[in-house]
Structure 1
């Protein structure tokens, strides 16, 4: 399984493609259905031996039990890297290593599992050269002025070219983008659709010795050679972004089939939908580009992963304040549920009745139904959207069960439900604790308690001072500030409820971002309130003006008025047109009503 997941928008307006011939792998079909870009439909997964997107990989490995070997290819040399390195005054190796390190830091911050094998182009040049030589000897590539090109017309005689995006075959713009800005000698190609397997290097560009002269690998060939070296001649699943279908992935398929003399190099091709920022494709030209680190300054890794969970991986996903606010509310459902269950389990004596009545049996039935439904959703092309709905629905039913204070809840059922929900979230990579819930994010108890005790002492001092001064308002203000601004930064949340308050442990980073988001929402509401007040004030000031005077001040626009004060001629002396008069009469009538209401308000 190759290439890290890349998020990109869904292509619109494409003609329905003719389906290429697809050969189901040998073996017993599993219950898992995967949307296969090669067939544009869901196919039963038949593993040949042992994903790619982190959540999909976790589901296959930790939930379905597949032996996943995940290979990540790193392009550390291509035209864009060379061009940027030259402009930055560093070597291409220094530039690529810098951003590779940054990439893996981002993955770690998002709790993405590392690959089982990491392949870099610069470490695989000999293997790539050998791979290209094999394609030439099989009759599907040719050398031309120090470069090697894939012969698409020869390939078409025995194979299908453009399996993923046949409608894009021949698209010169896409072909040119795939070849790279530094490509030379394109006139040396036999056909416009041929693509470079090996590029001759110009002076000042990185180069390696080859049978065709000094040069470097083309973009497409690297993935085929590196992935095949680790995974062999046939790969179960290949993934990537929607916009990589053509030419990159179609060229990968072609050159690999040409190398191995086979009809199917990849059994299942899965593509992710576009990442949208406030409804638009993320791009530097639109200035809506956002980095993972910038997103993590505002939201937690858990919240960002949840955003992915509530969207289907193969559809566009919109990142916006509204979508993240929705995530925040969903996270809160889970967090509050875990806190409630832990509180109940903590406070339930062991000698209370535990025999099941019908209400207990009904809740247990909901758990069993949820397990069955979630299993079927995960088998249906990794449908995490409906899984999340099922989990929140199970929580709602459990909350209804707990709302009945006439009897004690059955500890075993609650424990089973909380453990199961935690287990599914752990599979999804949003929980990394073995206990129920999200965990507190704290390790050593003494280290965790020290700042809490320091804050408590400071709180006590403030309360004693306020009490001595008999300042009731200061006491209430200090209590609220302690609850809302001090304790959350220490990983403690207090909820005031009828009859008392409840404390909860939570990751302080989660609570900190919760505070920031709350302040941001409040600031937005305040700004909207002030804007409404400003408009109302302006509306009131306008209402004070008698309708007979409202136009007369506009001498730069009008020169004559009728008995009511409505303009009859513009500033040049020309008579007002009928359409203009109709509009002015309407404004006069509206002002008459507004001014009348204003006068009535003065009387009241």
Structure 2
């Protein structure tokens, strides 16, 4: 029924504002297969539901690539099914912008008048307009919490009713729709024959079941009618938006997602492992993590191969699954090299290649809207930067206590043993503090390194120096650091 078909009306409004997309009407009007339009080739191939193959993504111009996004019907809180859809769209938008150089002009339609809105407003004894504004703002807050970039403009149905009526009247006049005795308007499918649906089929955006979240095991789609949904607000009380983004990245944007605690925990584990590697590699680059050289030629070659693999995957229908796998493989090999270097702490260090890997890994995750360095503080605990400084001071104090407890000076053997025995409670207190901090996601790594008499590293061990590296790792959303 056209009276509630916001997609049709809003898509027409977008075309009126930005102009027709070249080649689309021609392919539909002639009843032929898809014709590649003229314009800017983004370098991406996307699945075309009309041809059932991957075709080049052509936009009219790179500096203003138009995108219409169907927004919510604002009568209730958004749930994870909605979150899945909009996060996936946001990831694609970011990739188009930051990897393939397209400046996306996105317009989102907001259905703020609808039978559901009217019924809900009557139940709550409020006006439909006030209810719609309430849940529209609620939706925008949810999107901001999920790090979804806002559209260039919102189009509310109530603000474009005259244009929608004109559009529907034109469809009736052209014989593509008809009016019933009750005043409802329906498409006349026979007027377009086998061409019906082809225009929609090649419209930008995912085909199949974009953004659908299925409850694993039951095979049901998460929806309000089935009352099996989780609101975005409830979800974010126990999980981070970064974990949810990685969860979405690990499946194709064109497929439904099986939602399960196991899949979510795996995304969280991968994100923690990546953040831990980045922290360890940074500590190595700063000289705070003991270690010798790594196999630079191997890591440089693997870094170059990973960059090429990520670019190729994203250009192949936004294949984020392959891209994430390539990055995680690089992290795995970087970790192996760090471990090997720690076992052989002598010799020249190799900070450049590990620094380049850290930069590349962070750049990928930042591109898709995930921050590995972000730390969220509990309410009233102060700024994340202040908390981080506080922890660093605590760790430095612990290091001084531990160094004092281990120092034996020039005392003879028996006196040295007695002194260490007397200071054993200090060492035990340091170990207890280390374990307590680990509960809150703060890992303290310590290694003894050999230094020469002048303080520079030497192949001949003369003295030992204790060095630490502090790694802040989140254990849950409620902890002080994320």
1:374 and 1:324 map into 2 onto residues whose CA distance is 23
Question: Which residue among 278, 295, 299 is the counterpart of 2:216?
Answer: 278
The answer to whether the aligner puts 1:84 opposite 2:120 as a matched pair is yes
CA positional deviation for 1:134: 2.0
Question: Is 1:482 equivalent to 2:436 in the alignment?
Answer: yes
- The offset of 1:370, in angstroms, is 0.8
Contact 1:20 1:163 in 2 (8 A): no
Alpha carbons of 1:472 and 1:390: their partners in 2 closer, same or farther (altered >3 Å)? same
What is residue 27 of structure 1 aligned with on the other side? Answer: 39
Shift of 1:481: 5.7
Q: Is the 8 A contact 1:312 1:383 kept in 2?
A: yes
Query: 1:328 aligns to what?
Result: 268
**Partner of 1:25: helix, strand, or coil?**
coil
Aligned residue number for residue 54 of structure 2: 42
- The 5-angstrom pairing of residues 67-216 of structure 1 reads 67-145=103-181, 147-153=183-189, 155-156=191-192, 160-163=195-198
Is the 2:41–2:57 contact (alpha carbons within 8 Å) kept by the matching residues of 1? yes
Report deviation, 1:148. Answer: 4.9
Say which SS state the counterpart of residue 196 (structure 2) adopts. Answer: coil
Residue aligned with 1:45, SS: strand
CA contact (8 A) 1:441 1:506 kept: no
In the TM superposition, residue 66 of structure 1 has moved relative to its aligned partner by: 0.9
Query: What is the CA-CA distance between 1:494 and the residue it aligns to?
Result: 3.0
Looking at structure 1, the residues matched to 347 and 467 of structure 2 have their Cα atoms a distance apart, in angstroms, of: 21
Distance 2:391 2:354 in 1: 33
Equivalent of residue 337 in structure 1, options 273, 277, 281:
277
Provide the rounded CA distance (Å) in 2 between the counterparts of 1:326 and 1:353: 32
Displacement of 1:299 in angstroms is 0.9
Q: Is the 8 A contact 1:494 1:501 kept in 2?
A: no
Please give the alpha-carbon distance, in whole angstroms, between the structure 2 residues aligned to 1:511 and 1:59.
Answer: 29
Q: Decide which of 494, 510, 517 is 2:444's aligned counterpart.
A: 494
1:504 corresponds to 2:470? yes
Distance 1:35 1:121 in 2: 30
CA distance in structure 2 between the aligned counterparts of 1:99 and 1:111, rounded to whole angstroms: 18
What SS class does the counterpart of residue 345 from structure 1 fall into? helix
Larger gyration radius, structure 1 or structure 2: 1
Counterpart contact for 1:334–1:392, Cα < 8 Å: yes
Residue 334 of structure 1 and its aligned partner are, at CA, apart by 0.7
Q: Is the 8 A contact 2:50 2:198 kept in 1?
A: yes
Q: Is the 8 A contact 2:376 2:384 kept in 1?
A: no
Give the deviation of 1:78 after TM superposition: 1.3
Q: Does 1:375 align with 2:311?
A: yes
Q: Distance in 1 between matches of 2:478 and 2:277?
A: 17
Matched, 1:303 2:243: yes
Correspondence list, 1:307-318, <5 A: 307-318=247-258
**Alpha-carbon shift at residue 514 of structure 1 (Å):** 8.1
Q: Distance in 2 between matches of 1:304 and 1:393?
A: 20
Counterpart of 1:424 in structure 2 is 364
Residues 519-539 of structure 1 deviation map (CA, whole Å, 9 limit, x = unaligned): xxxxxxxxxxxxxxxxxxxxx
TM-score when normalising by structure 2:
0.68
Q: Post-superposition shift, 1:277?
A: 2.4
Structure 1 spans left out of the alignment, 5+ residues: 5-18, 167-234, 243-270, 432-436, 461-466, 517-604
1:513 maps to 477
Q: Secondary structure at the match of 1:32?
A: strand
Contact persistence 2:121–2:131 (CA under 8 A): yes
Partner of 2:373 in structure 1? 438
Q: How does 1:587-598 map to 2 (within 5 A)?
A: none
2:111·2:157 contact (CA, 8 Å) conserved in 1?
A: yes
What is the alpha-carbon distance in structure 2 between the residues aligned to residue 451 and residue 480 of structure 1?
Answer: 12
The 1:471–1:438 alpha-carbon spacing in structure 2 relative to 1, beyond 3 Å, is: closer
The answer (yes or no) to whether the contact 2:171–2:177 under 8 Å persists in 1 is yes
Cα separation, partners in 2 of 1:473 and 1:506, compared to 1, 3 Å:
closer
Aligned equivalent of 2:204: 237
**Cα distance 1:143–1:334, how it changes in 2: closer, same or farther (>3 A)?**
same
Output the CA distance in 1 between the equivalents of 2:373 and 2:395. Answer: 24
Give the CA deviation at 1:125. Answer: 0.6
- Asked if the contact 1:61/1:68 (under 8 Å) is kept, the reply is yes
1:296 and 1:496 mapped to 2: Cα distance?
35
Structure 2 residue runs without a partner (length 5+)? 1-6, 11-30, 70-88, 378-382, 401-420, 450-465
| Cα pair distance change 1:34/1:502, threshold 3 Å | farther
CA spacing shift, 1:306–1:513, aligned 2, 3 Å? same
What is the rounded CA distance, in whole Å, between the counterparts of 1:410 and 1:446 in structure 2?
31
SS at match of 1:23: coil
Question: How far apart, CA to CA, are the structure 2 residues paired with 1:116 and 1:381?
Answer: 24
Cα 1:395–1:409 change in 2 (3 A) is farther
Q: What is the CA–CA distance in structure 1 between the aligned matches of 2:390 and 2:373, rounded to whole Å?
A: 22
Provide the C-alpha distance between the structure 2 equivalents of 1:494 and 1:382, rounded to a whole number of angstroms: 39
Match of 2:406 in 1: none
Alignment root-mean-square deviation, CA: 4.1
CA deviation profile, 1:473-508 (whole Å, cap 9, x unmatched): 9948852563134x54xxx4435779978543548x
Q: Residue 347 of structure 1 corresponds to which residue in structure 2?
A: 287
Partners of 1:348 and 1:475 lie apart in 2 by 23
